[in-house]
Structure formats: C-alpha cells, structure tokens
C-alpha cells in the first residue's frame, strides 16, 4: 500500500474518487503536522455505543491527535491480494474467511515455540492488560484507531534467543477460500518481516481490532501487524506463523519486485519509487520515535 502523490497519477489509482474528494480537507489539515502531533499526547475518549467489545480500551501513548477517518472508508477500501487486487471487492470476498478458532505457529530462535490458540495469546496473561488503542496515520492518509498490543509484549513471552535478528510473519495460505492466491501476482503465501529492534519498538502493534470492534476480515482479522512508519504492505494480515530468524527473510513484495519494494519499506520522500513519487513526511511523521533505529544506515541503499 504505497502512498502515491505524483500529480500525474489519477486519484482513482490511489483511492476511490468519492473517498478522495471527501478526504481532501483532512489531508490539507494534516499535511506537515504529523511530527508535531504524533509525539504521544493522549486523546479524549468520545462517547461509544453500548455493547462494543473494546469500548473501554484506553488510549495508547502514541495516539495521534488527528481526526479519525470514517470507518466506512477504512473498512471498504483495502488491499488484500489474497482475495483480489480490487480494493473494493475484498470486503465482500473476505467474508468467507473463518477467523475463530485461529492458531498461530511460533518457530525458530525462541525458547518458547509451538502452536498457540489465539485466545490463549490474548487471555489470562499480562497481554490482556496491555491491549490499548493506537491512532496511527495509515496508507492513503487514513487515520485509524487500531486496537491491539505492542508486538514486543508477545516476543518477550516467547523469549527470543541471541540468534534472533529478524522476525518473519506469514499469512494464511488457503487458495480455496482465498481466490487471489490462485494467481501469480505475488509469491504465496504472503510473507513479511522486521528486524528484531523494529519488532521490539513500542509502536509496532499486533492489532486485534479497530474503532470499537474486532478487526473486520478485510482489514486483517483476526490478527494483523501495524508498523505505522512504514508503507502499508508491511502490515501483513491474518497472521498464522511467526518465526524468529538469524537471517533476513525473503518477503512477498521484495521477491516479486526487488527494485521497487525494499525489505525496510520506511516512508522516505528521498527514495522515489521507480514509477511514482513518494513525497511525504519521513517515517510517516514518526521520526522522533524511530529514527534512532537506523542510525548510521544509508536509507537510500536500505530502502
């Protein structure tokens, strides 16, 4: 989910026309302000409808003081290539995916590995107390109140060994349910990864919900990765496997187009995509929080 801002690119390639037009005021208000407002201020909690599963979840420390994008837009315009390359049809097609029960397999350089039921990862342990609300700037200038917990909380429980330098994530592979996986648009299953210090950063989130409810299927239910300073294709959906590795994993988009999609995928206006500009704020406005992760690195080489 790259942010396309080149004026020669039709708005229809970036987002739906009606959505694009209605979002113009928000984009204008938010432009240039991300760094100032993403430094940790808490948000006032609006009134929420009774019966919402996550209605009492507290705000997270990195909540952005920006207007939240309407749920209608976020839930009905998504990249989910496992189902379709059409950003609007994935909402309908993803409804067939059963998300409970759900298991996550943990492998590699960790003391605690095996197959875990998602419910066991979310209940009856300290993680449950640390599920909180993030309000992060996402792809297409959306601001989404994600609900989840820092990935590092889970990794600490798994106890990575000294050999763990990277974390690899894999999406469910089921071509019968996911028709997009029958195509050759990407190497399947979808795989993404982070360096271990990126994975341990408190801004790196495992999301279980958004707004006041559990994640919709098309937004990555029941468990997806959110890394707000990177391009959206890093935010892998429907995670079924986590591996802790010594070597950098081969990721889906990097394998398909290594000249266009680097492993790091940090939002960087100084590294234009070969086919469009990436003029936007460095690290998507989170430079104050994450720039130290890349001290001494050539971000044009390691894009």
The predicted pLDDT at position 137 comes to 60
**Across 118-138, average pLDDT:** 75
Better pLDDT: 5 or 99 = 99
**What is the C-alpha to C-alpha distance for residues 179 and 98, in angstroms, rounded to an integer?**
15
228-239, pLDDT tens digit by residue? 999 999 999 999
Lowest-confidence region among 54-58, 159-163, 266-270: 54-58
pTM check: above 0.85: no
- Give 87's strand partners: none
Section 208-222 average pLDDT: 94
Question: CA 45 to CA 42: how far, in whole Å?
Answer: 9
Terminal CA-CA length for the chain: 15
Interval 47-71 mean pLDDT? 72
**pLDDT given for residue 140 in this prediction:** 58
Q: Residue 141 has what pLDDT? A: 67
Look at residue 91 and give its three-state secondary structure: helix
Provide the percentage of residues in the chain whose pLDDT is more than 70: 81
Q: Which domains does the chain possess? A: 11-294 (3.90.420.10)
Nearest to 207, CA basis, from 146, 271, 279, 116: 146
Contact between residue 71 and residue 58 where contact means Cβ atoms under 8 Å apart: no
pLDDT of residue 68: 87
The highest-confidence range among 226-230, 247-251, 282-286, by mean pLDDT, is 247-251
- Grade residue 138 by pLDDT with cuts at 50, 70 and 90: low
Residue of higher predicted confidence among 213 and 276: 213
């Amino acid at each position: 989910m790259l942010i396309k801002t080149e004026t020669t690119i039709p708005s229809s390639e970036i987002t739906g026309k009606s959505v694009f037009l209605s979002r113009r005021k928000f984009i204008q208000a938010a432009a240039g302000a991300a760094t100032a407002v993403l430094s940790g201020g808490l948000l006032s909690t609006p009134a929420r409808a009774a019966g919402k599963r996550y209605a009492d979840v507290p705000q997270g420390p990195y909540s952005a003081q920006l207007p939240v994008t309407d749920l209608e837009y976020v839930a009905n315009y998504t990249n989910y290539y496992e189902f379709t390359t059409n950003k609007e049809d994935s909402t309908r097609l993803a409804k067939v995916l059963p998300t409970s029960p759900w298991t996550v397999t943990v492998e590699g350089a960790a003391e605690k590995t095996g197959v875990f039921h998602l419910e066991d990862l979310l209940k009856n342990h300290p993680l449950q107390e640390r599920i909180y609300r993030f309000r992060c700037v996402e792809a297409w200038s959306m601001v989404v109140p994600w609900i989840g917990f820092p990935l590092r909380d889970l990794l600490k429980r798994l106890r990575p060994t000294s050999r763990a330098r990277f974390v690899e994530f894999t999406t469910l592979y089921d071509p019968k349910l996911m028709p997009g996986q029958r195509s050759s648009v990407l190497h399947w299953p979808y795989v993404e990864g982070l360096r271990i210090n990126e994975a341990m950063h408190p801004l790196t989130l495992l999301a279980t919900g958004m707004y006041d409810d559990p994640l919709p299927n098309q937004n990555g239910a029941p468990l997806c990765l959110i890394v707000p300073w990177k391009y959206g294709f890093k935010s892998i959906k429907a995670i079924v496997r986590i591996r802790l590795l010594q070597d950098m994993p081969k990721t889906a988009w990097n394998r398909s187009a290594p000249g266009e999609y680097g492993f790091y995928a940090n939002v960087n206006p100084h590294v234009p995509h070969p086919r469009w500009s990436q003029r936007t704020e460095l690290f998507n406005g989170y430079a104050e929080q994450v720039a130290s992760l890349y001290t001494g690195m050539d971000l044009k080489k390691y894009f």
